[in-house]
């Protein structure tokens, strides 16, 4: 019975000797030292809390930027493909205009040429509808103000009936993909005639 009591006292951390209450700790710290240590710990907690908040804010900003980057990649990933297709659309448009010019000549009413023109017109309309479906739009700058982000000046024309700085003619159509210019329109801008 005495053996089991000693084992119980050891497992609970009590000493086997006579029980005398210990009023003083082995390393007594003064109240001033404890307050100083508490203030230091509070400052560390505030510092770590501030660092944690900044880290959370930084990670949220990185997440937003990454999400924006992914969305832009989805929208504008076809940009180079669209640039190439726009050149094909230009060729198709010029061919249709050429066929229209020959098909409407009264000296040679060729029904085959008329059918080719109609077919090219249908293809061109379908291509423009596919462009619109994917967010690719042809710009129509004639009559609008010159914008260096959308237009490239290739010539100046006398301002007859139009305000100077206005786009007077377009030699090559410009295109936008979801509002971003992927090909500048080649334009002639009206300027005041010098006397």
Give every CB contact of residue 175 below 8 A, 6+ residues apart in sequence.
82, 86, 131, 136, 137, 138, 139, 181, 182, 183
What span, in angstroms and rounded, lies between the C-alpha atoms of 140 and 125? 16
Span 161-170, pLDDT tens digits: 788 889 988 9
Q: Which two tokens stand for residue 59?
A: 């990670």
Q: Label residue 5 by pLDDT band (50, 70, 90).
A: very low
Least confident among 6-15, 48-57, 109-118: 6-15
Helices then strands (H, E): number in the chain?
4, 6
Structural domain spans, the chain? 137-194
Tokens of 123: 């293809």
The DSSP letter of residue 70 is: H
User: What are 127-182's pLDDT values in tens digits?
Assistant: 999 999 999 999 988 888 999 999 999 998 887 878 888 998 899 999 999 999 99
Checking DSSP bridges between strand 151-158 and strand 185-191, what pairing results, if any? Answer: parallel
Superfamily of domain 137-194: Head domain of nucleotide exchange factor GrpE (2.30.22.10)
First to last CA, the chain: 127
Residues 6 or more apart in contact with residue 182 via CB below 8 angstroms = 79, 82, 83, 86, 136, 175, 176
């Amino acid at each position: 019975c005495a053996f089991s009591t000693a084992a119980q006292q050891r497992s609970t951390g009590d000493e086997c000797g006579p029980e005398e209450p210990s009023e003083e700790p082995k390393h007594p710290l003064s109240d001033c030292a404890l307050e100083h240590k508490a203030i230091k710990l509070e400052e560390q907690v505030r510092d770590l809390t501030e660092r944690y908040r900044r880290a959370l804010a930084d990670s949220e900003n990185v997440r937003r930027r990454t999400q924006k980057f992914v969305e832009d990649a989805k929208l504008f990933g076809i940009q180079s493909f669209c640039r190439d297709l726009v050149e094909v659309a230009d060729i198709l448009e010029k061919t249709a205009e050429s066929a229209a010019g020959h098909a409407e000549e009264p000296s040679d009413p060729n029904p085959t040429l008329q059918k080719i023109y109609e077919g090219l017109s249908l293809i061109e309309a379908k291509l423009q509808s596919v462009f619109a479906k994917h967010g690719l739009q042809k710009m129509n700058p004639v009559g609008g103000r010159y914008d260096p982000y959308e237009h490239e000046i290739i010539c100046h024309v006398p301002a007859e009936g139009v305000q100077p700085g206005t786009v007077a003619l377009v030699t090559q159509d410009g295109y936008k993909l979801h509002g971003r210019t992927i090909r500048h329109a080649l334009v002639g801008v009206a300027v005041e005639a010098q006397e």
